[in-house]
Amino acid sequence: MMHNPEQNPADIEKLLKNLPKYEMRKAKELQFYAKLMKLARQKKQALREERYQARGVFSSFSIFRSFAFASAAVIILFTATVGFALSPNVTEGDLLYPVKKWEERFELTLSDDPAVRVERHMRFAGRRLSELKTLLKDDPEFLRQVLIPTAKAAALSANFNDLSPEVQATIEAYYDETSKASEEASKIKEVKKAEKVLRIVIEAQEKHVEKFESMIPLAPEKVKPVLAEALTAVEKHQALAVEKKVEISRLFKAKTEEVVLQMIPLREVVQEIRAQGEISEAKLEKRKEIAAQTLENAKAKLETLKQKIAADPGVRTEELEAFKKFVEEKLSEAEEALKKEKYGTVHGLSNATDAMIKKFQLYKEFKSEEEARKHSEEKKRIFEKEMTDGETEFFKDFEKFREKTEAAYPYDTQKIKPQITTPQVTTPQVTTKQTYPKTGAGYKEGFYDADEKKRLLELIDEKIRSLKIEYPSADYQHKDVEDLRNMLRYLEGYEKTSGTGTGFLEDGGSIGSAGSTGPGFREEWLQADLIETEEDFKASTGPGF
């Protein structure tokens, strides 16, 4: 069995024996396990059927030897009796449906083991989906849509409440079953069991996803969004379960025995998704408040402007009078917009006023627009240089950070790598000629908020420095990289939105494109904790309205 020392020198053999072995990635292994378990169940099922056929139901009295077998026999008998009630063709609204439900409740009473109960609930949830498919197939609405294509268009606007009560009830029942499964799963305290249960849940979810996916293209238009919502929820729920499973596998490896397996019910995930879709009352109220405040500020500024004009008639009085009138007009427009709850417009107009007033000061200072522009261009140049230098420094640090992380976590960072792309150092683009006359101060006065940007860079820098000190675990690092990424994105967003200043650009400027809308509400909203979702983030720029 051993090598031949004469032929094969030991040194080479030693090296060969110690060649590194590689490991599969966790995610792939997880997938493998899911497939293996599916196969195992199929095998078991096939075996059971074979035995059952070979033996016949009553040929052996040994079947009554143990209670387990007895209860199995009861189930077999029972299912035989109500077998036809269990078919997916029996749905909500059918006469036999209560029999089906009753059978399920009975099956649940057979075991106190949470693991078994989870499996059953998930299986019943799967049944609900099969019923749903039947219901959708039989839906006369569906037939009508196939036959009369215009009905499809009419159905598009319908929402969940317009669904037939049976379909609605079946979807609700599906959520019920899965939520009960989560409830049962949360009773589990042993790591080993938790792992098993999660595997069951993930596998079941896999099937549910497949069912939803096959159902959606065939479903009537009005049901599609509901199914799509459920599908998104199940996928999200599954991702959570997989995450849990990885966590638990780690505990298992660390020989921990106890665990608190808190599983969020699917219904909560659904609600979360719905909440993301609609903006909450409180949020709207807060947005209104902020918009009103902005308008108030602009009004106050206008007052100051009036006083200044009164006190210092200055050089170009006529022009200034027209200017004042224009600003007043815009502010009354803003007031209208506030009433109509168009907060983006309010903000755009108010900020523009602000900018115009700043412009007024420049008028005074420089006597002519030409002079003012020269001044502003010089400021811009200085600012850009400062920023470019600062950013170059910062990204040098960032690169170092990345290299270090990669060295510490070669595999993980491979996954993360494409996500952290160092943003290009770009200077905000402002075409002075086009925007200057209409946009007011623009970057002249404070819209290139150099301090704010510096503050952001410092914040990120600080974060990186803190990361360099501690590298406790791969997970920790993941989270932090994510944080960093968000910060960088924010920085990018800041660059994009704060460059141009605000204005009255007629072609949609003050309420339209982000470029001329100015910073939008982002800063204010961030401070008021109003930005929770991607949507909020987008809306905060102004054009979202």
Binding region for other proteins (CB under 8 A): 1, 4, 7-9, 11-25, 28-29, 31-32, 35-37, 39-40, 43, 407, 410-411
- The string of DSSP letters for 240-267 reads HHHHHHHHHHHHHHTT--B-------HH
Which residue's structure tokens are 């009560």? Answer: 165
Rounded least distance, CB 16 to other proteins, Å: 4
Classified as helix, coil or strand, 500 is coil
Contact by Cβ (8 Å): 512, 543? yes
End-to-end CA distance of the chain: 77
Q: Which is nearer to other proteins, 24 or 72 (CB)?
A: 24
Q: Which is nearer to other proteins, 10 or 260 (CB)?
A: 10
Rounded least distance, CB 194 to other proteins, Å: 17
Rounded least distance, CB 40 to other proteins, Å: 5
Rounded least distance, CB 12 to other proteins, Å: 5
d(CA 99, CA 83): 10
Reading the block at residue 98, the tokens are 């209560």
Contact by Cβ (8 Å): 343, 287? yes
Rounded least distance, CB 234 to other proteins, Å: 24
Rounded least distance, CB 33 to other proteins, Å: 8
Q: Which is nearer to other proteins, 21 or 340 (CB)?
A: 21
Rounded least distance, CB 5 to other proteins, Å: 12
Q: Which is nearer to other proteins, 246 or 487 (CB)?
A: 246
d(CA 426, CA 384): 9
Reading the block at residue 306, the tokens are 């009036």
Rounded least distance, CB 3 to other proteins, Å: 8
Exposure b/e, 176-188, CB count within 10 A at least 16 = b: bbbbbbbebbbeb
Q: Which is nearer to other proteins, 10 or 311 (CB)?
A: 10
Rounded least distance, CB 196 to other proteins, Å: 11
Q: Which is nearer to other proteins, 249 or 297 (CB)?
A: 249
| Residue ranges in 445-532 assigned as alpha helix (H) | 450-469, 474-498, 514-517, 522-527
**Phi (first) and psi of residue 482, to 5 degrees:** -60, -45
Contact by Cβ (8 Å): 273, 236? yes
Contact by Cβ (8 Å): 447, 441? yes
Q: Which is nearer to other proteins, 28 or 400 (CB)?
A: 28
Reading the block at residue 54, the tokens are 């070979």
357 CB contacts (<8 Å, ≥6 apart)?
A: 301, 302, 304, 305, 327
Q: Which is nearer to other proteins, 32 or 64 (CB)?
A: 32
Q: Which is nearer to other proteins, 17 or 340 (CB)?
A: 17
Q: Which is nearer to other proteins, 168 or 249 (CB)?
A: 249
Residue whose C-alpha is closest to residue 125's, from 199, 211, 195: 211
Rounded least distance, CB 414 to other proteins, Å: 9
Q: Which is nearer to other proteins, 48 or 454 (CB)?
A: 48
Rounded least distance, CB 214 to other proteins, Å: 24
Q: What is the SS3 string spanning 72-124?
A: HHHHHHHHHHHHHHHCCCCCCCCCCHHHHHHHHHHHHHCCCCHHHHHHHHHHH
Rounded least distance, CB 358 to other proteins, Å: 54
Rounded least distance, CB 245 to other proteins, Å: 15
286 CB contacts (<8 Å, ≥6 apart)?
A: 528, 530
d(CA 322, CA 320): 5
Which residue's structure tokens are 């903006």? Answer: 279
Q: Which is nearer to other proteins, 183 or 406 (CB)?
A: 406
d(CA 151, CA 149): 5
Q: Which is nearer to other proteins, 39 or 156 (CB)?
A: 39
Which residue's structure tokens are 């009473």? Answer: 109
Classified as helix, coil or strand, 520 is coil
**Length of the chain counted residue by residue:** 545
Handedness of CA 491, 496, 499, 504 (dihedral sign): negative
